[in-house]
Amino acid sequence: YWTVLEAGAQGGKLPDVFWMHSNESQRYMENDMLLDVTEQIAQSSIIDPENYPEDIWGLFTSDDKYYAVPKDIDTIALWYNKTMFDEAGLEYPNENWTWDDMTEAARKLTKPDGSQYGVGIRNDGGQMGYYNMIYSNGGYVISEDKKKSGYDDPKSIEAMKILETWINEGLMPSLSTMSETNVEVLMQSAQIAMTIQGSWMLASYEESEYALENLDVAELPMSASTGERVSMFNGLGWTAAANGEHPDEAWQLLEYLGSKEAQEKQAELGITMSAYNGTSDKWAQSSVFNLQAYINMMDNMIINPYSRNTIIWDSENNEILKQVYLGEKTMEEVCKEMAAQQNAVLAEE
């Protein structure tokens, strides 16, 4: 999607209305590709910024101007295999779980013959993985002013060592396995007992008969050090092309798609959690899975780390982190290496 969109932007042929994401928005806004809808929002009786999470607007704002209307938000939760827990004689994850509890459960759920692993998180699973560990432990990935990496912060390193334990103790499949087969597929084929997934992944699980019979969702564990439970969150926005031939009609569509009516419909259809405050409860009721876990994670949300060049430093950090999965370096060494490269990228912004 984003590759096609970029080609359209370079060729001056963007769609009239399309999605925008935090990883992409800054460069589109700075290059005047998106329609400025600040005045339209100010005059609208339907779109009021107060009706959406405050941080979501920051993803689509530049120089105090709005360039999108929020479409949805997402939170992160823990998926687990009820059947595997039952067979191991373990209680299901609950609101009192810490990351240490998750580690202990993963040890008991991992079989020595390699047929079943306790947990699975890929090296590129930031939002759907270790970001939540870092922030729940009081660490950070990027400073609020977006000038400094937090990977070398002691609290961040402490949290990342949980992931290192899972790797070093063989509680997860190999990196090559998780690179070839996404973790949701591993969950749905009874190869791993737990994973961390975003709310946008629901459709994949609802299409799986095995998942419907054996899997469920719980809130994320909390940090044993801080007692905090944190979910990263992000969201898409509806935006329009700055050079579109129908800017008035495009705004009318944006205004409707961001309205309470449309946002409730999106939630009722089970598509995703809607950005309009109070409309996601209907999404939670749309499935047999315990989607209330995702709603509960809204109590302590932190916006997913981003800057102008998120894709650059994030992609490079994913590559650097592979060294821990491959047993080439310690997590502390790699965290310091990730911080150094990220700081270099941020300095160029």
Q: Has residue 60 got a pLDDT over 80? A: yes
Mean pLDDT value of segment 167-187? 96
Distance of CA 183 to the CA centre of its chain: 14
Mean pLDDT value of segment 28-57? 95
Distance of CA 315 to the CA centre of its chain: 15
Per-residue model confidence as pLDDT tens digits over 200-250? 999 999 999 999 999 999 999 999 999 999 999 999 999 999 999 999 999
Q: What is the pLDDT of residue 134?
A: 98
Mean pLDDT value of segment 326-337? 98
- Of the pLDDT bands very low, low, confident and very high (cuts 50, 70, 90), residue 349 is confident
Q: What is the pLDDT of residue 252?
A: 98
Alpha carbon distance 16, 35 (integer Å) = 10
For 61: left if phi > 0, alpha if psi spans -120 to 50, otherwise beta; the answer is: beta
Report yes or no on whether pTM surpasses 0.75: yes
Distance of CA 260 to the CA centre of its chain: 24
Residue 74 has, within 13 A of its CA and on its CB side, a CA count of: 21
Q: What is the pLDDT of residue 124?
A: 85
Take residue 299 and report the two structure tokens written for it: 């109590």
Q: Has residue 279 got a pLDDT over 80? A: yes
Q: What is the pLDDT of residue 271?
A: 86
Per-residue model confidence as pLDDT tens digits over 118-138? 999 988 878 889 999 999 999
Average pLDDT of every residue of the chain: 95
Asked if 331 contacts 160 with a C-beta cutoff of 8 angstroms, the reply is yes
Asked if 349 contacts 154 with a C-beta cutoff of 8 angstroms, the reply is no
